[in-house]
Amino acid sequence: MRLGVLVSGRGSNLEAVLLAVAEGRLAGIEPRIVISNRPGVRALQVAARHEVPSRVMPASAFSDVAARDRAIGEALTDAGCDLALLAGYDQLLRAPYFAAFGGRTVNIHPSLLPRHGGRGMTGLAVHRAVLAAADEETGVTIHEVTPELDAGPVIARERLAVRPGEDAEGLARRVLIVEHRLLVATLEDLAGVGWPSGASASMTAVPRDGRADGRT
């Protein structure tokens, strides 16, 4: 499965994937391109270290965001990608993207969607929202991307208990460990099982729903 990855920042999930590929744990995944909407971010260094071609495509380089989204879709198509992964990509993808890229797109989100999803729910904002809501558990959701933000079919989910008295930074660190593990496992499943032609993500043998502590 030929993979393109969209990033915006430090690239820790990108790094987890590329390390798994380098170690032979994702033999069915072939990284083809990394695309960032920001120059100079650590994720681009991660891509270079693993010898994956990268492009920087900021909105300011295009006439409007729709043109930028179309160009991203075209770049993935030109790279021969079957699958695009949003790994900390913090921009909404609009209809021109989906028109230009015929493959599937998945996103990893640091909460149990639909809770704490939608606009503004990125990074520490998600974990602060979890704590403010006094949720007893949080987790990670991997879902197919559709034009509606954070609303695509769930592919995999892992739950994590919120510890009494922990802060957003501590919670973020624990969730990130789950993100890395679940993302690699899900990509392994997708590369091995795949998505049958014409089927939605929720119709495949891929979906997972477990707990980080081993309980179900």
Residues forming the active site? 109
Report yes or no: 60 and 68 within 8 Å, Cβ to Cβ: no
Per-residue burial over 140-164, b = 16 or more CB atoms within 10 Å of its CB, e = otherwise: bbbbbbeeeebebebbbbbbbebee
Q: Of all residues in the chain, what percent are helix, strand and coil, respectively (each to 5)?
A: 35, 20, 40
Phi, psi of 106 (to 5 degrees): -125, 155
Torsion region of 40: left, alpha or beta (phi above 0 gives left; psi -120 to 50 gives alpha): left
**What span, in angstroms and rounded, lies between the C-alpha atoms of 32 and 136?**
39
d(CA 63, CA 59): 8
The secondary structure of 6-56, three-state, reads EECCCCHHHHHHHHHHHCCCCCCCEEEEEEECCCCCHHHHHHHHCCCCEEE
